[in-house]
Amino acid sequence: MTTTSAIPEGGGTVFRTHGVVITQPTAGVFLAFTATCTHQGCTVRAVAGGTINCFCHGSRFRIADGSVAGGPATQPLPRLPIFVSDGLISLG
């Protein structure tokens, strides 16, 4: 799906076609979350300032665990399984 080098440390990347956000909150730790905002189902659009951001209504989610950093969303982004091997990241 992507490479570890494509995911910035302290940030992340939204893969709209796959419906997933992959983050690297700390060096070498890669996490994946659904790209569907839990507020009203919009696709999140960006990762910046330590949060995954939905531009539809302004919800923000923490890159380290998907928890809500700012509403109107009240539920975290669900985590998705991924495999990281030899510099490659694939959906589980």
Tens-binned pLDDT, residue by residue, of the chain (92 aa): 899 999 999 999 999 999 999 999 999 999 999 999 999 999 999 999 999 999 999 999 999 999 999 999 999 999 999 999 999 999 98
Beta bridge partners of 36: 43
pLDDT value of residue 1: 86
pTM score:
0.95
Rounded Cα distance, 31 and 81, in Å: 8
Strand 68-70 vs strand 20-24: parallel, antiparallel, or unpaired?
unpaired
Give the residues across from 79 on adjacent strands.
33
Of 78, 84, 68, 74, nearest to 24 by C-alpha is 84
